[in-house]
């Protein structure tokens, strides 16, 4: 199997002395859909922020699509692995939806008809074309979430990383997002407290606790283990609760 992400002996400590990642080693293979779960403060967001180059390993290594992450190649890594932030407002900063989606490809030198075609196709694929001239501030939370996805997917990443993607979605938009993520033929990594969403889209789950990997296995094995979940500050998916 082709390796998409390889993390070896990763350590990360914040400036205040908090050890967020503690000797984590993890491999994600091309085409996998992997959920990363754990209680607040387990290190989930810090871990995935390494995969997009927002953090550089202090100790250990992170390799994305065969490219070892360093300060010099952060931009290259970000083209390979696109991150959808937990808060869509952190991802949308232009005056129009169209400009937000255009920003990434324009920044890497795509121009003219190729740029227009790429942006138009992405907006149409996500049913956002009619919103193209709207300011992001005038959109609903669900609409903002899908525009945030568009700004990442327009870059044609090999890996899609999602941080709490359902946190602000109503049931209709949540189902729409599940269908979108399932349809993508790329490697997917998702951090979420929404274990039913993880159940729907992931084949594998990694459990973090205090910056360490404490479990890693098939989704149905991990998410049906009430003892494991409760030991790590989690509950069974709603579909399994009585």
**Per-residue DSSP letters for 177-221?**
HHHHHHH--SEEEEE-S-HHHHHHH-SEEEEEETTEEEEEEEHHH
Q: What's the predicted TM-score (pTM) here? A: 0.94
At residue 167, φ and ψ (nearest 5 deg) are: -60, -25
The one-digit pLDDT tens for each residue of the chain (242 residues) are: 899 999 999 999 988 888 999 999 999 999 999 999 999 999 999 999 999 888 999 899 999 999 999 989 988 999 999 999 999 999 999 999 999 999 999 999 999 999 999 999 999 999 999 999 999 999 999 999 999 999 999 999 999 999 999 988 999 999 999 999 999 999 999 999 999 999 999 999 999 999 999 999 999 999 999 999 999 999 999 898 87
Distance, CA of 194 to CA of 149 (rounded, Å): 18
Distance, CA of 43 to CA of 192 (rounded, Å): 12
Pairing outcome for strands 19-29 and 159-163: unpaired
Q: Are 214 and 187 in contact (CB under 8 A)?
A: no
Q: Are 163 and 88 in contact (CB under 8 A)?
A: no
Residue 69 CA: distances (Å) to CA of 2, 22, 157, 188, 212: 18, 18, 16, 19, 20
Residue 173, token pair as written in the block: 């938009």
- DSSP run (H or E) holding 151: helix 141-153
Residue 157 has a pLDDT of: 96
The rounded Cα 31 to chain-centroid distance in angstroms is: 14
- DSSP run (H or E) holding 51: helix 44-51
The number of distinct structural domains making up the chain is: 1
Residue 242 has a pLDDT of: 74
CATH number at residue 130: 3.40.50.300
Distance, CA of 34 to CA of 191 (rounded, Å): 9
Distance, CA of 231 to CA of 5 (rounded, Å): 27
Pairing outcome for strands 33-37 and 3-13: unpaired
At residue 122, φ and ψ (nearest 5 deg) are: -65, -45
At residue 162, φ and ψ (nearest 5 deg) are: -125, 130
What range does the domain containing 139 cover? 3-240
Residue 216 has a pLDDT of: 98
């Amino acid at each position: 199997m082709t390796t998409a992400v390889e993390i070896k002996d990763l350590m990360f400590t914040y400036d205040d002395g908090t050890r967020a990642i503690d000797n984590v080693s993890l491999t994600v293979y091309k085409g996998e859909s992997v959920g990363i779960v754990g209680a607040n403060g387990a290190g989930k967001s810090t871990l995935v922020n390494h995969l997009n180059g927002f953090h550089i390993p202090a100790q250990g290594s992170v390799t994305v699509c065969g490219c070892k992450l360093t300060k010099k190649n952060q931009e290259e890594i970000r083209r390979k692995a696109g991150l959808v932030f937990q808060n869509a407002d952190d991802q949308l900063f232009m005056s129009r939806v169209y400009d937000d989606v255009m920003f990434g490809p324009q920044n890497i030198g795509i121009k003219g008809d190729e740029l227009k075609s790429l942006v138009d196709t992405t907006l149409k694929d996500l049913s956002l074309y009619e919103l193209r001239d709207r300011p992001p501030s005038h959109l609903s939370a669900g609409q903002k979430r899908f525009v945030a996805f568009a700004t990442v997917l327009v870059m044609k990443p090999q890996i899609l990383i999602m941080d709490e993607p359902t946190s602000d979605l109503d049931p209709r938009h949540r189902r729409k997002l599940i269908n979108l993520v399932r349809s993508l033929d790329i490697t997917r990594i998702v951090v979420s407290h929404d274990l039913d969403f993880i159940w729907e889209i992931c084949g594998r789950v990694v459990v973090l606790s205090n910056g360490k990997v404490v479990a890693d296995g098939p989704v149905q094995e991990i998410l049906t283990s009430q003892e494991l979940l409760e030991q790590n500050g989690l509950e069974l998916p709603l579909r399994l609760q009585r």
